[in-house]
Structure 1
Amino acid sequence: MLIQIANLILQVLVSIVAGACLLRCYLQWLAFNLGAGQSKSIGAYVLPLSNWIVLPLRRFVPSIGRFDLASCVAAYLLILAKISILLLISGATSIDISWLALALVDMLNLTLSGLLGLVFINIILSWVGTGTQIQFLVSLLVNPLLTPIRRVIPNFGALDLSPLALLLILQILQIILGNLKI
């Protein structure tokens, strides 16, 4: 029971903070201005959640072009810490190299889960709200993933099947990652 409670608490906390680090990395890759001084920007939410771990890491982990490696490493370290705590609570006696691989698989799974959520939000917002700031932001995040699929799938007029194809691809990748974890 203690392990389940610790797992729930750590999963929620780490998913939020590591997710913010991964979102920060993706936004920087898209050359999105996080607008640290703007209260209505996505940066007002992402930066406070991730600055405490990303900024110190930037002293040692440089960016690679537009790829914010420090944010990615921060997410990985958070997930590795969660796995380490849970395994130590469950009675593991030594650190194993498989923990490193398990953390990488968990980070990729968190990334895929976040992308699945963004695609669902994009679909719902395309039905109900047009022209809102949140719809613009979500479209900005999802469109780079949909563009290559739209080149392959034929246009059916008002019916856009590319989000469905992207959802299928992301879920297949999650199944593959789930089988790697076993």
Structure 2
Amino acid sequence: MLVTILKLIVDAIAVLLGSALLLRFWMQAIRVRPPAQVAQFTFQLSDWLVRPMRRVVPGMGGYDWASLIGAFLVVLLASCVYFLAGWSVQMVLLVALERFLSWILYGFMALLVIEVIFSWINPNAPLAPFIRALNEPLLRPIRKVVPLIGNLDLSVLVALILLQIAQLMLGLAFNGR
């Protein structure tokens, strides 16, 4: 019971920090300038980890590798709770890798859902263009294949289905389910 409670607390903190690090990586990778509120939140939450890591892991090829590796380290540390439950180091590493890849897939799904909500409620919301820009690299190749149907863009639905298929395949690859 105590390990379960500890895992819940650690996971909540890890998801928040890991999400900020992954968002920071994605914003730089696709060259999207965030609104001031998002930038302030993301950078203040993650600078303590990213800045020192940049001394060891510099950005190369236009990517902020320190943010991405930092996100993996957060997942790895959060997965160490399983080590307390008696799991082997190899199992903890595999769980950390699976969780890291899942976080990436769920992050993309969340961004797509947020874009859909903005399109329904307020397409002109101040954050809507930022979210659209974050999703554009995912949706652009799908839009080339899936045409508009009655002036309705189904690319977000197709992207969500593809991300869910990737999540299922990830579960099969790691758990054999």
Give the shorter-chain TM-score range. over 0.9
Say whether 1:138 aligns with 2:134: no
**Percent of aligned pairs sharing the same letter:** 35
Map of 1:60 onto structure 2: 56
Is the CA contact (8 Å cut-off) linking 2:34 and 2:130 kept in structure 1? no
Secondary structure of 1:42's aligned partner: helix
Map of 1:49 onto structure 2: 45
Map of 1:15 onto structure 2: 15
Is the CA contact (8 Å cut-off) linking 2:32 and 2:134 kept in structure 1? no
Map of 2:79 onto structure 1: 83
**Distance of 1:4 and 1:157 partners within structure 2:** 49
Is the CA contact (8 Å cut-off) linking 2:25 and 2:63 kept in structure 1? yes
Map of 1:5 onto structure 2: 5
Say whether 1:95 aligns with 2:89: yes
Q: Which has the higher contact order (CA 8 A, sep 6+)?
A: 2
Is the CA contact (8 Å cut-off) linking 2:20 and 2:42 kept in structure 1? yes
TM-score between the two structures when normalised by the length of structure 2 = 0.92
The CA deviation string for residues 62-115 of structure 1, in whole angstroms up to 9 with x for no partner, is: 11222111100000011111111x1232124x533x433321221110011111
Is the CA contact (8 Å cut-off) linking 2:32 and 2:133 kept in structure 1? no
Q: Residue 180 of structure 1: CA displacement?
A: 2.4
Say whether 1:110 aligns with 2:103: yes
**Distance of 1:34 and 1:47 partners within structure 2:** 11
Segments of structure 2 that go 5 or more residues without pairing to the other structure are none
Q: Residue 34 of structure 1: CA displacement?
A: 4.8
The CA deviation string for residues 127-167 of structure 1, in whole angstroms up to 9 with x for no partner, is: 11022221111111111111100000122132111000000
Say whether 1:27 aligns with 2:61: no
More helix by share: 2
The CA deviation string for residues 32-68 of structure 1, in whole angstroms up to 9 with x for no partner, is: 2357xxxx33111100111111111000001122211
**Distance of 1:171 and 1:13 partners within structure 2:** 24
Secondary structure of 1:59's aligned partner: helix
Segments of structure 1 that go 5 or more residues without pairing to the other structure are none
Map of 2:119 onto structure 1: 126
Number of paired residues? 175
**Distance of 1:43 and 1:71 partners within structure 2:** 14
CA RMSD of aligned residues (A): 1.5
Is the CA contact (8 Å cut-off) linking 2:75 and 2:96 kept in structure 1? yes
TM-score between the two structures when normalised by the length of structure 1 = 0.90
**Distance of 1:34 and 1:123 partners within structure 2:** 19
